[in-house]
């Protein structure tokens, strides 16, 4: 009799779960590139902040742009951490993604290096400059030129990966390049160049965000909210325990702790208050919406995309705004 009663109760529980209409929790599969800006994700994993917030997050390192696009388009990944300008390109290629969280802002980690004879942005006119087209460096150069009423057509572009461009400049093969650390620092070290402009002079232009597939946002909001809360805690931990956090990041990224400490200076992690400011309110949307417009306009003009949508289409502010 007791066994029959136990079985009946178990069946009731199972039926209740099945009919509840609430999808079961899933592990979130997030794609990352090797970048210090995503360091707090590894801190959150190591310190158990994801578990504390009832979410399981699995990271997959994917370095290639084509491979990342295939992974998110096929649904193998639930989301990716990349720059906002990259997300806009993916969306206009028919991949249903929306930004749910701001991750970091470049604060000197990206910039333009040039030989010493090039003293200003205006001096780039007619000069060859290397950068990867359709990627963050392209948008940074576009924005830098715009401050002087110039266009990409005023320079001679060389399509080259940002690391390769930095290396080529350091070895004396280029007069100018758009790149990031550690190549920015090497411009002074090699003795033939300098940093012409970096992202501190164009604040907020390069921002990393977390974007998720729309079906995941609809079906698994609890997991996304848990991930965001864990990120906030990891960013706060990194600020209050920098040595331990940098050790965790160094191990995850295959770097030395002193390298991590140096690279972190070139970015600003977006904590809870930073996210609140980036997303703003329904009455007063934050800076992320303006940047979305700026990037979309730039990509249309540069023929990176053939159509554009609105910031409200690509940004989901619900999570950041409702987390107290």
DSSP code for 206: S
Say if residue 2's pLDDT is above 80: no
CA pair distance 163, 132, nearest whole angstrom: 9
CA neighbor of 212 nearest in space, from 105, 39, 57, 63 = 57
User: In what side-by-side order are the strands of the sheet with 110-115?
Assistant: 156-159, 128-131, 176-180, 110-115, 193-198
Q: What is the pLDDT of residues 137-158, one digit of tens each?
A: 999 999 999 999 999 999 999 9
- Which of these CATH numbers, 3.30.1330.40, 3.30.465.10, 1.20.1440.130, 3.40.190.10, describes 110-198? 3.40.190.10
DSSP code for 132: -
Average pLDDT over residues 92-101: 95
Say if residue 18's pLDDT is above 50: no
Say if residue 14's pLDDT is above 60: no
CB atoms within 10 A of CB 21: 5
Contact (Cβ atoms closer than 8 angstroms) between residue 238 and residue 43: yes
Average pLDDT over residues 168-172: 89
Say if residue 15's pLDDT is above 90: no
Q: What is the pLDDT of residues 212-240, one digit of tens each?
A: 999 999 999 999 999 999 999 999 999 99
CA pair distance 84, 313, nearest whole angstrom: 13
CA neighbor of 301 nearest in space, from 197, 111, 95, 151 = 151
Average pLDDT over residues 252-257: 94
Contact (Cβ atoms closer than 8 angstroms) between residue 137 and residue 185: no
Task: Report CA torsion sign: 29, 95, 289, 221.
Answer: negative
pTM: 0.89
Domain boundaries, the chain: 25-107+206-322, 110-198
Q: How confident is the model at residue 24 (pLDDT cuts 50, 70, 90)?
A: confident
The highest-level CATH class for domain 25-107+206-322 is alpha beta
CB atoms within 10 A of CB 262: 15
Question: 242-253 and 39-46 helices cross at what angle (nearest 10)?
Answer: 100
pLDDT score for 64: 86
CB neighbour list of residue 308: distance below 8 Å, 6 or more residues apart: 88, 92, 296, 297, 299, 300
25-107+206-322 and 110-198 share one fold: yes
Q: How confident is the model at residue 22 (pLDDT cuts 50, 70, 90)?
A: low
H/E segment holding residue 67: helix 65-74
Say if residue 117's pLDDT is above 50: yes
Average pLDDT over residues 180-185: 86
Q: How confident is the model at residue 188 (pLDDT cuts 50, 70, 90)?
A: confident
Say if residue 1's pLDDT is above 90: no
DSSP code for 154: G
């Amino acid at each position: 009799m007791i066994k029959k009663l136990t079985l009946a109760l178990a069946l009731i529980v199972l039926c209740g779960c099945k009919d509840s209409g609430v999808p079961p929790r899933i592990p979130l599969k997030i794609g990352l590139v090797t970048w210090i800006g995503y360091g707090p994700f590894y801190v959150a994993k190591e310190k158990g902040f994801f578990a504390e917030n009832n979410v399981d997050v699995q990271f997959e390192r994917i370095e290639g742009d084509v491979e990342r696009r295939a992974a998110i388009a096929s649904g193998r990944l639930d989301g990716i951490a990349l720059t906002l300008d990259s997300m806009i390109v993916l969306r206009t290629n028919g991949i249903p993604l929306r930004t749910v969280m701001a991750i970091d802002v470049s604060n000197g980690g990206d910039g333009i290096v040039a030989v010493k004879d090039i003293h200003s942005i205006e001096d780039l006119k007619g000069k060859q400059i290397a950068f990867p087209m359709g990627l963050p460096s392209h948008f940074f150069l576009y924005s830098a030129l715009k401050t002087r009423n110039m266009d990409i057509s005023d320079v001679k572009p060389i399509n080259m990966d940002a690391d390769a461009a930095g290396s080529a400049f350091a070895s004396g093969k280029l007069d100018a390049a758009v790149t990031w650390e550690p190549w920015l620092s090497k411009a002074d070290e090699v003795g033939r160049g300098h940093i012409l402009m970096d992202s501190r002079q164009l604040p907020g232009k390069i921002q990393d965000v977390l974007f998720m597939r729309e079906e995941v946002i609809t079906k698994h909001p609890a997991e996304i909210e848990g991930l965001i809360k864990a990120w906030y805690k990891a960013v706060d931990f990194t600020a209050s325990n920098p040595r331990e956090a940098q050790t965790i990041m160094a191990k995850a990224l295959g770097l030395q702790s002193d390298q991590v400490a140096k690279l972190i200076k070139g970015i600003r992690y977006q904590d809870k208050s930073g996210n609140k400011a980036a997303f703003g309110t329904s009455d007063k949307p934050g800076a992320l919406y303006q940047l979305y417009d700026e990037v979309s306009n730039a990509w249309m003009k540069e023929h990176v995309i053939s159509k554009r949508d609105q910031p409200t289409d690509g940004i989901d502010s619900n999570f950041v705004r409702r987390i107290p």
